[in-house]
Amino acid sequence: RWMFGPIGCDLYAFTCFTATLSNMMTYVAISVYRFLTICHRNDAGIYVQRTSRVSWIICAIWVYSLLWATIPFMGWGSYGLEKFKTSCSVAWTETSSDGKSFVLSLFVFVLFVPVCSMGYMYLKLIKSIKGKISSIPEQSTSTEDTMNIKCGLHGVQVVHDIDSRVIKV
């Protein structure tokens, strides 16, 4: 038995689960933003950078999080005490078919898909940055290269400059 009763347990679990989900989805949104601004900066990167779109993305993150966090209140899955009975969370060990299907759905849509999508985007990001680093001339001082730096090569030129200085030392 939890010290705040079953209603307190449900509210505590709901709050923690919502915050955890929004945090995870924020990481996904950040990886999408980085992917678009670095790998596709001329196309989709500019689209995402507008303040109104960022507001919509933040709202979508919270709606997604609240949707998954309220599902146990609707009867699919449940909240309950954790193993050591010190806090409440999703009933991960529930043996009913509803509980198992909810936990499996959480694994797929809240963990597996976001982690795989972040992994994919960061791998593409690394590949894109490596390609940009290798395409930068050794000692470039032209106006065009300076413009590329200002327009969003982000840290690529900085990394190149550090590499060239280390080689000289």
In the structure encoding, which two tokens stand for residue 17, read together? Answer: 């689960």
Return all residues near 125 (Cβ < 8 A) that are at least 6 apart.
34, 35, 38, 39
One-character DSSP codes across 68-136: HHHGGGGTSS-EEE-TTSSSEEE-TT--SHHHHHHHHHHIIIIIIHHHHHHHHHHHHHHHHHHHHHHHS
d(CA 105, CA 142): 54
pLDDT tens for each residue of 117-159: 999 999 988 888 877 776 666 655 555 554 444 444 555 555 4
d(CA 13, CA 8): 8
Please report, in angstroms and rounded to a whole number, the separation of the first and last CA atoms in the chain.
66
pLDDT tens for each residue of 25-56: 999 999 988 888 877 766 655 565 666 778 88
What band does 84 get if pLDDT is binned at 50, 70 and 90? Answer: confident
d(CA 48, CA 121): 15
Provide, rounded to the nearest whole percent, the portion of the chain with pLDDT above 90: 46
